[in-house]
């Protein structure tokens, strides 16, 4: 009597970004698993049981939810933003590949959501309006040297770069190092956007330049967008500037 | 008596991906502009006037909507997916930068949505679970040589690549050329996902490998995800396979 597992994207903090599809998946679940602050966004409904856990426990959370679903019932794992972008969907797939055969027979669904870089971009204009990369700065699961090479490749090839997980308590210097690395490839005037807690009540979006960007301005709730050579800032009287990357690119040599 | 302009992301086709924020922005608009097939998804409400236009008319559509908003009223431009990803948000910012001074004084808002690559990824597992790029294959607005160099850079650096606009009537050979270029950098077994019309009633998702991928399998409604060296396929008895890119990466040399 096997159940189902649904991995649900909540979008940025506020419920106005929660899609009807995600809302329905949450409503029909008997049990909800997730990183405690994400799970706290979901009101407990009648019969539902919440199983909060710490971050950096993705593998254990995925295993527990899969085991629970295998016993029957509709189980959901909630993720902030989109579950497929540096979040729980990959952890669930990994667990299915390496876990008990029964987990491959489960009905598993993934519900997309608005990921942080889209929410931050929308607050300020269209910095992701042309080719871009999304890169996690966490070196918990990959060597720092690989992250550095990817930053170099992205900047040299003219991609805008959306940086997830710029900083954590255990990773204090990496973001400053990344900015230094990008400064060697991009002009000092390249626009940089710091989106802090976008979609929550304490949200804040700051625009600066690559030479003025300070690694200390990012924390665990920050998503950073570093422009390309094409990214532009449009000043507006009495309003915040717009930052956008034009649809057309002319540069052929990097 | 200046009005407002809101650029709204509808998400993939079905209304179950429309966020409450986007729904509210549409409801409160007096006039709606958009590419005709996207606008057709929005039911006409009482007093609202719809202004459909052709694709490749982004600049003219942005200018008309800005001019309309400057005369007063709440004007919305609708975009499929997310307006900030190869869509109308950049066209609106460009128009504001180059247009009449009055356009800089307008209240302009952007409402994010679920962009195609997130919807396609969710249908098949978590192919975007690690670092990735989003790249438009349209050479209407940038030279093909630049697109080629970006494909090379992304594949060599280990990014998964989400390809928007692989094919159009005016661009029949470019996607096949791109696949050939990627084959020189990536193993023949690299997983490739073709997501056709995802979120619509005729949606179809196919998984193949880079050596077997056929450029003729893409059309204007297709979003293609080409894996990295790390991307894996998990076979499941009686179910479609899962495709995912693990959270951890070990490879340092490309």
Q: For residue A236, what is the DSSP state?
A: E
| Optimal mutation site among B2, B114, B151, B223, interface A, most CBs of chain A within 10 A | B114
Name A231's Cβ contacts closer than 8 Å, sequence gap at least 6. A127, A160, A190, A191, A243, A244, A245
Longest dimension (CA), chain A: 63
SS3 content of chain A, % helix, strand, coil (to 5): 30, 30, 40
Give the nearest partner residue to A90 out of B112, B129, B153, using CB atoms: B129
Quote the CA–CA distance of A160 and A157 in Å, as a whole number: 9
B230 touches chain A (CB under 8 A): no
Identify the closest residue of chain A to B10 by CA–CA distance.
A19
The answer to whether the Cβ–Cβ distance between A141 and B11 falls below 8 Å is: no
Tokens of B110: 């952007």
The answer to whether the Cβ–Cβ distance between A126 and B154 falls below 8 Å is: no
Distance from the Cα of B250 to chain A's closest Cα (Å) equals 6
Measured at the CA of A49, the angle between CA A199 and CA B17, to 5 degrees, comes to 40
Share of chain A above pLDDT 70, in %: 98
Q: Does residue A254 register a pLDDT over 50? A: no
A142 touches chain B (CB under 8 A): yes
Q: Does residue B113 register a pLDDT over 70? A: yes
If phi over 0 gives left and psi between -120 and 50 gives alpha, with beta otherwise, what is residue B83? alpha
Q: For residue A173, what is the DSSP state?
A: S
B71 touches chain A (CB under 8 A): no
Rg (CA), chain A: 20
Q: For chain B, what is the mean pLDDT? A: 95
The predicted pLDDT at position B14 comes to: 87
| Distance, C-alpha A142 to centroid of its chain | 17
Shortest CA distance to B212 belongs to which of B230, B198, B197, B233? B233
The answer to whether the Cβ–Cβ distance between A104 and B245 falls below 8 Å is: no
Torsions phi, psi for B229 (to 5 deg): -65, -20
Give the nearest partner residue to B141 out of A128, A158, A249, using CB atoms: A249
The answer to whether the Cβ–Cβ distance between B129 and A86 falls below 8 Å is: yes
Tokens of A35: 């990183």
- Cβ atoms of A85 and B118 within 8 Å: the answer is yes
Name A174's Cβ contacts closer than 8 Å, sequence gap at least 6. A137, A139, A144, A147, A166, A167
The predicted pLDDT at position A43 comes to: 87
Torsions phi, psi for A174 (to 5 deg): -60, -40
A161 touches chain B (CB under 8 A): no
SS3 A183: helix
Instruction: Show residues of chain B in contact with A107, CB under 8 Å.
Output: 239
Buried b (16+ CB within 10 A) or exposed e, B178-199: bbebbeebbeeebbbbbbbbbb
How much is the pTM? 0.97
A153 touches chain B (CB under 8 A): yes
The predicted pLDDT at position A251 comes to: 64
A93 touches chain B (CB under 8 A): yes
Give the nearest partner residue to B122 out of A24, A84, A254, using CB atoms: A84
Shortest CA distance to A122 belongs to which of A11, A10, A40? A11
Buried b (16+ CB within 10 A) or exposed e, A1-16: eebbbbbbbbbbbbee
pLDDT band at residue A1 using 50, 70 and 90 as cut-offs: low
Give the nearest partner residue to B21 out of A17, A93, A96, using CB atoms: A17
Tokens of B182: 């990627």
Quote the CA–CA distance of B207 and B246 in Å, as a whole number: 17
Instruction: Show residues of chain B in contact with A17, CB under 8 Å.
Output: 19-21, 112
B172 touches chain A (CB under 8 A): no
Give the nearest partner residue to B157 out of A20, A150, A237, using CB atoms: A150
Chain segment A72-121, per-residue pLDDT in tens: 989 999 999 999 999 999 999 999 999 999 999 999 999 999 999 999 99
CA atoms within 13 A on the CB side of B252: 4
Give the DSSP H/E element, type plus range, for residue A31.
Answer: strand A31-35
Quote the CA–CA distance of B33 and B53 in Å, as a whole number: 8
| A183 C-beta neighbours (distance < 10 Å), count | 15
The answer to whether the Cβ–Cβ distance between B93 and A141 falls below 8 Å is: no
Q: Does residue A228 register a pLDDT over 60? A: yes
Q: For residue B186, what is the DSSP state?
A: S
The answer to whether the Cβ–Cβ distance between A16 and B20 falls below 8 Å is: yes
Quote the CA–CA distance of B27 and A64 in Å, as a whole number: 42
Q: Does residue B52 register a pLDDT over 70? A: yes
Instruction: Show residues of chain B in contact with A19, CB under 8 Å.
Output: 11, 16-19, 114
The predicted pLDDT at position A241 comes to: 97
Distance from the Cα of B148 to chain A's closest Cα (Å) equals 10
Average pLDDT over residues B125-153: 96
Chain segment B160-196, per-residue pLDDT in tens: 999 999 999 999 999 999 999 999 999 999 999 999 9
Longest dimension (CA), chain B: 63
pLDDT band at residue B250 using 50, 70 and 90 as cut-offs: confident
Share of chain B above pLDDT 70, in %: 98
- What interface predicted TM-score (ipTM) does this complex get? 0.97
Compute the Cα dihedral for A141, A144, A150, A151 and give only its sign: positive
Measured at the CA of B176, the angle between CA B173 and CA B178, to 5 degrees, comes to 105
More confident residue, B46 or B238: B238
If phi over 0 gives left and psi between -120 and 50 gives alpha, with beta otherwise, what is residue A13? alpha
């Amino acid at each position: 009597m096997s159940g189902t597992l649904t991995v649900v994207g909540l979008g940025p903090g506020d419920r106005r970004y929660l899609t009807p599809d995600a809302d329905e998946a949450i409503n029909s679940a008997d049990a909800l698993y997730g990183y405690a602050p994400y799970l706290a966004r979901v009101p407990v409904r009648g019969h539902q049981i919440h199983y909060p856990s710490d971050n950096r426990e993705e593998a254990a959370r995925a295993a527990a939810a899969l085991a629970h679903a295998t016993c029957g019932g509709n189980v959901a794992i909630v993720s902030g933003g989109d579950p497929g972008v540096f979040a729980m969907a990959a952890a669930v797939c990994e667990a299915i590949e390496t876990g008990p055969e029964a987990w491959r027979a489960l009905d598993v669904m993934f519900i997309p959501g608005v990921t942080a870089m889209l929410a931050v971009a929308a607050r300020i204009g269209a910095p992701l309006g042309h080719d871009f990369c999304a890169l996690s700065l966490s070196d918990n699961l990959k060597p720092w040297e690989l992250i550095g090479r990817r930053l170099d490749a992205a900047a040299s090839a003219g991609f805008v770069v959306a940086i997830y997980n710029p900083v954590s308590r255990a990773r204090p210097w990496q973001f400053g190092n990344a900015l230094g690395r990008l400064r060697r490839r991009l002009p000092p005037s390249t626009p940089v956007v710091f989106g802090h807690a976008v979609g929550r009540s304490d949200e804040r979006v700051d625009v600066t330049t690559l030479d003025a960007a300070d690694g200390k301005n990012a924390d665990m709730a920050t998503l950073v967008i570093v422009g390309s050579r094409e990214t532009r800032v449009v000043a507006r009287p009495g309003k915040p500037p717009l930052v956008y990357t034009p649809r057309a690119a002319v540069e052929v040599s990097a």
